[in-house]
A and B are shown apart, each in its own frame.
Chain A
Amino acid sequence: MSEGANAFDLIFSGEAKLYSIVALSLYVSVCAVALAAFVGFPLGAFLALSRFPGRSVLVVTMNAFMGLPPVVVGLVVFLLLSRSGPLGHWGILFTPRAMIIAQALLVLPIIVALSRQTIEDLWEEYRDELNAMRVGPVRCVVTLLWDGRFSLMTTLLAGFGRASAEVGTVILVGGNIDGFTRTMTTAIALETSKGDLPLAMGLGVVLITIVLAINAMAWGVRRVGELRAG
């Protein structure tokens, strides 16, 4: 990224580097959200449907953890994955996998808390009907998740937004290694520290554009889905 270059030149000249940064950002955030959803949706549904001692503590904790400071999550994952930490033998610090794990932890409370709320509201409506149909608990959860899919998609977007916008954890556990763990946000942080504010701003505009495009796409999918499924 030599002098005079700006983000738009980088895009339109098809500079491979920018593409790889964008691709890595999307890859990490999408994987993190998928991982968090895989665990978070069933957990949210479980919290919504079950009653056990300590449940409200868990619910409040998840609600509070939606605002978990990224740097703290980053630090915890960093200490876990460091060679001197308990999971050091995995050898994945400063790799995209470490970034995915950290972001997934960051996103998980959002998915759990919001999906619990969605599923609990839906359960209120569906409970008698599903019980009258003699539907078992596992199938209840699956049915509620599926029928709540449009609201849950918004939950996924909220998670994706948090993951893709975040810089604190990925710079700590990813190391911002050029061509390997550099994402949009860490690239913006780096260009800012180099004093190349126009390039940093340009990258910021690119990031916002991508996030907008993804949300627009999701909105379109939701509209079509709702038209088709009611």
Chain B
Amino acid sequence: MSRRIILAAVLAVSAGLCGQAIAQEKSIVVSSTTSTTDSGLFNHLLPIFKAKTGIEAKVVSQGTGQALDTGRRGDADVVFVHAKGQEEKFVAEGAGVKRFPVMYNDFVLIGPKSDPARVKGSKDIVGALKAIKGKSAAFISRGDKSGTHSAELNLWKQAGIDIAADKGPWYKEIGQGMGAALNTASASNSYVLSDRATWLHFKNRGELDIVVEGDNKLFNQYGVILVNPEKHKHVKKDLGQAFIDWLISPEGQKAIANYKINGQSLFFPNATAQGV
């Protein structure tokens, strides 16, 4: 008797397994960066977008490099990232249709309040990095090919430092997301480059604070790209394009501007209608 009950349970579960994914709804997969998710931006934007269009955007958040790869393989309909050079390459090789700038925020250099490299209050990121290198002050790098990592490598280059060759034990690449990098910096009182949005949303700050901000070199542009439906036939190009169109529309831009933590805006809309 109880054998039949178990059999019935097994069958029920198997049936559930098969039936589960049949319910199709209007949805797209967006591969995006950790900063847009960890900062809470998508939690703010997506409900507004869904209310307007009925489209559910499912966000997979990865580093920019990985997010672009996900698009390249056809596992996402839209990519929403921040590394202009990589994005342009993505479009140039035909993986994406067209890149639309959406918004920007900025990077900030985070460091311990004790400030061993004596850079606090400076607006010169290049000088700050030189000072950190000079003092061999502890520095955490994402090391994960993300947009933030690309930006960091670019800044070292501008400081005239070949970080791949010159890094010492003070420079640690952790190969993880922004949050993990901040956690590591917090636990080891190190300097770390972060996007402002993730930093504002980050709770486990410990002794960390912003030490350098406001340099033009710290500008961080986000772009959104539809994955090329000619390469991947299943890409939901209408729904994906609807998402992009909404992001760069006055309404979407306003929604981005309205996302604030403690009265501070995290992202600044700057879409140009025609795209690049």
Contact = CB atoms under 8 A, between A and B. Distances in A.
Quick check: do A and B touch in the complex, using CB within 8 A?
yes
Please classify how large the interface on chain B is, using the bins under 10, 10 to 19, 20 to 34, 35 or more.
Answer: 35 or more
The secondary-structure label for the interface of chain A is loop
Given A34-B10, A95-B21, A97-B20, A82 B204 contact: no
A84 interface: yes
A31 B16 contact: yes
Interface stretch (B176-184, B245-253, B264-272): B176-184
B29 A83 contact: no
Contacts of B74: 82-84, 88
Contacts of A192: 179-180, 183
A38 interface: yes
The secondary-structure label for the interface of chain B is helix
A194 B75 contact: no
Interface string A70-114: 000000000000111100100111111100100000000000000
Given A31-B17, A82-B73, A178-B46, 11 more contacts: A31-B16, A34-B17, A38-B10, A84-B75, A91-B234, A178-B37, A193-B34, A193-B179, A195-B202, A195-B205, A197-B203
Shortest Cβ-Cβ A-B pairs, 10 listed: A193-B179, A83-B74, A195-B204, A175-B60, A195-B202, A84-B73, A34-B13, A177-B58, A195-B203, A196-B203
Contacts of A88: 74
Contacts of B204: 195-197
A146 interface: yes
B117 interface: no
B43 interface: yes
Interface of A: 3, 27, 30-31, 34-35, 37-38, 82-85, 88, 91-97, 100, 146, 175-178, 180-181, 190, 192-197
B61 interface: yes
Interface of B: 3, 10, 13-14, 16-17, 20-21, 29, 34, 37-38, 42-43, 46, 58-61, 73-75, 176-180, 182-183, 186, 201-205, 232, 234
B234 A83 contact: yes
Contact of A180 (B58, B176, B179, B201): B58
B191 to A, nearest CB: 17
Nearest to A229: B2
Contact of A38 (B14, B20, B61, B232): B14
Given A83-B232, A195-B203, A94 B3 contact: no
A190 B62 CA distance: 11
A93 B75 contact: yes
